[in-house]
């Protein structure tokens, strides 16, 4: 079974330029997450989707960040314009959230991440 | 709200020695607890998890962790360290019926030959 696929793995851009990251979750996983991982820190949730709906985007800086998950499968995270402080690893993860009454273990499966360097 | 504290940003052990990585959590409801490992330039991989039932959980690569509710701890151990265990380890907590993981800051494990 294929894991979570992210691209690009590495991206170097000048500040004020736009950048986009793509994520393909594990087949059948209805929940998708974007996490931000700064150097030396644990991942922090940016946004969580259940199917097409963003159910938690409270940590997403909406002035410059946007995300979409059309058709409830692949997702794209965009930054426009990028700032020096956005240099980090952007991790995508997916999980299968059962409907009410089902067992929900909360296990997430992560991609390898997209490392962004803003110069 | 949940939070996780990992004591020690760096831990160094000799090959063959006991590995102990500490994790304390706070949660208003019974939590799910996880340990993830991250090798350089790779994503996070699940080592083990506690959901319900037995408080001593075994994971991959010989690791295990014990959920101690009275101490709000979920420390990770391995009896004998191997060079391949060198990586960064993250403890995480989530609500019982939720999917939002909150991670600790991570502990980098170094294994000396």
Q: Do A42 and B90 touch (CB under 8 A)?
A: yes
Q: Do A106 and B32 touch (CB under 8 A)?
A: yes
Q: Does B14 score more than 90 pLDDT? A: yes
Q: Does B30 score more than 80 pLDDT? A: no
Q: Does A102 score more than 60 pLDDT? A: no
- Report which of residues B25 and B96 the model is more confident about: B25
Distance CA A23, CA A5 (A): 6
Q: Of B30-34, B53-57, B99-103, which has the strongest mean pLDDT?
A: B53-57
Q: What pLDDT score does A113 carry?
A: 95
B92 CB neighbours in chain A (<8 A) are: 42
B4 CB neighbours in chain A (<8 A) are: 42
Element (H, E) at A56: strand A53-56
Asked which of A34-38, B7-11, B52-56 is least confident by mean pLDDT, the reply is B52-56
Chain A: give the shortest CA distance to residue B42, in Å.
Answer: 5
pLDDT tens for each residue of B50-77: 988 889 999 999 999 999 999 999 999 9
Chain A residues within 8 angstroms (CB to CB) of chain B: 4, 31, 33, 40-45, 48, 56, 91, 93, 95, 97, 104-113, 115
B36 CB neighbours in chain A (<8 A) are: 110
Distance CA A111, CA B4 (A): 22
**Alpha-carbon B71 to chain mean position:** 15
- Strand, helix or coil for residue A35: strand
A117 CB neighbours in chain B (<8 A) are: none
């Amino acid at each position: 079974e294929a894991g979570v696929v992210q691209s690009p793995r590495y991206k170097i851009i000048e500040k004020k330029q736009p950048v986009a990251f793509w994520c393909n979750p594990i087949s059948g996983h209805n929940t998708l997450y974007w996490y931000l991982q700064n150097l030396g820190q644990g991942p922090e949730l940016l946004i969580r989707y259940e199917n097409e709906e963003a159910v938690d985007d409270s940590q997403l800086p909406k002035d410059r960040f946007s995300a979409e998950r059309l058709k409830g499968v692949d997702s794209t995270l965009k930054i426009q314009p990028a700032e020096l402080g956005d240099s980090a690893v952007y991790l995508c993860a997916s999980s299968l959230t059962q409907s009410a009454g089902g067992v929900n273990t909360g296990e997430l499966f992560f991609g390898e991440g997209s490392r962004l360097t803003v110069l | 709200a949940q939070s996780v504290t990992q004591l020690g940003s760096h831990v160094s052990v000799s090959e063959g020695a006991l590995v102990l990585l500490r994790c304390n959590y706070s949660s208003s409801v019974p939590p799910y607890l996880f340990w993830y490992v991250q090798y350089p330039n790779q994503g996070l991989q699940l080592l083990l998890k506690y959901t319900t039932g037995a408080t001593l959980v075994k994971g991959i690569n010989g690791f295990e962790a014990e959920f101690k509710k009275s101490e709000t701890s979920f420390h990770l151990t391995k009896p004998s360290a191997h060079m391949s265990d060198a990586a960064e380890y993250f403890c995480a907590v989530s609500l019982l019926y939720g999917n939002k993981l909150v991670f600790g800051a991570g502990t980098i494990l170094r294994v000396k030959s």
